[in-house]
Amino acid sequence: MATFSLQEQRVIIRFLHLRGATPIEIHRQLSETCGDGVMNVKNVRSWARQFKEGRTSCDNEPKQSRPRTSRSDNMVERVEKVVLEDRRLSVENIAPKVGISVGSVHKILHEDLRMRKVSSRWVPRILADDHKAARMASSRSLLHGSAPPHKSKIVCDSLARKGITVLDHPPCLPDLAPADFWVFPEVKLAMEGDRHDTIQDIQRECTAVLNAIPQKEYSDCFRKLFNRFQLCIDSEGDYFE
């Protein structure tokens, strides 16, 4: 029994189709001629349909690759926007917000946006020289925090009355901010697994957790802060965690 390549079988399918044969009849004749190497009836139907629709080429054109919608420029921008709105979100939290898989979010963050987590916050993996310089400058000064409330008029007036100097707090400092590297992890650990019905319930438990932390631990935290300043200077402004 003769052996026919798939290309040759497609030529036969077109010829028999033009002669008015049905896909079943075409497949039967191919089976009688080609034996075990015959194209299956599903593919015969597909080629017969394409020839009926006007196709003339018997070449098997390569399939066009589908666009990478999960890592398109638009999706990368969406992920970046979500992260910049809340740098503490986990990959599992980000995925449903943008509608792609956890694996795709992980690749976008690490490969496209070149980010990593430091003290539970998403930050640039590689710091620019000006960011490193700003981190070193801040490490040589006393920091008091960077939360938005410090910028409010009431707080600023109170600090001014007490003669407390407000220092600039450059970006990319989660490993140098006590709230990031100590307070938030402590609260998160204490409240892990708890369920709350209202925001007020969360606020009450969070306040209780903070009040239960011994004063000595707060003092120890700020003593450790000065060690972190030195680590930042030793690493020339780069992340040291």
Question: pTM of the entire structure?
Answer: 0.41
Is the predicted pLDDT of residue 15 greater than 60, yes or no? yes
pLDDT (tens digit per residue) in 163-208: 766 655 555 567 777 777 778 888 888 888 788 888 898 889 889 9
Is the predicted pLDDT of residue 138 greater than 70, yes or no? no
Tell me the mean pLDDT in the region 4-14.
Answer: 88
Architecture of domain 129-234 in CATH? Answer: 2-Layer Sandwich (3.30)
CB under 8 Å, gap of 24 or more: what pairs does 43-48 form? 44/13, 47/10, 47/13, 47/14, 48/13, 48/17, 48/22, 48/23
Tell me the mean pLDDT in the region 16-45.
Answer: 86
Class of domain 6-52: mainly alpha
Is the predicted pLDDT of residue 2 greater than 70, yes or no? no
pLDDT (tens digit per residue) in 82-104: 988 888 888 999 999 999 888 89
H/E element, 166: none
- The residue that leads in pLDDT, 141 or 203, is 203
Tell me the mean pLDDT in the region 34-39.
Answer: 77
Q: How many CB atoms lie within 10 A of CB 129?
A: 9
Contact 13, 26 (CB under 8 A): yes
Specify the pLDDT at position 94.
92
Q: Do domains 69-113 and 129-234 have the same CATH topology?
A: no
Show me where the domains of the chain are located. Answer: 6-52, 69-113, 129-234
Architecture of domain 69-113 in CATH? Answer: Orthogonal Bundle (1.10)
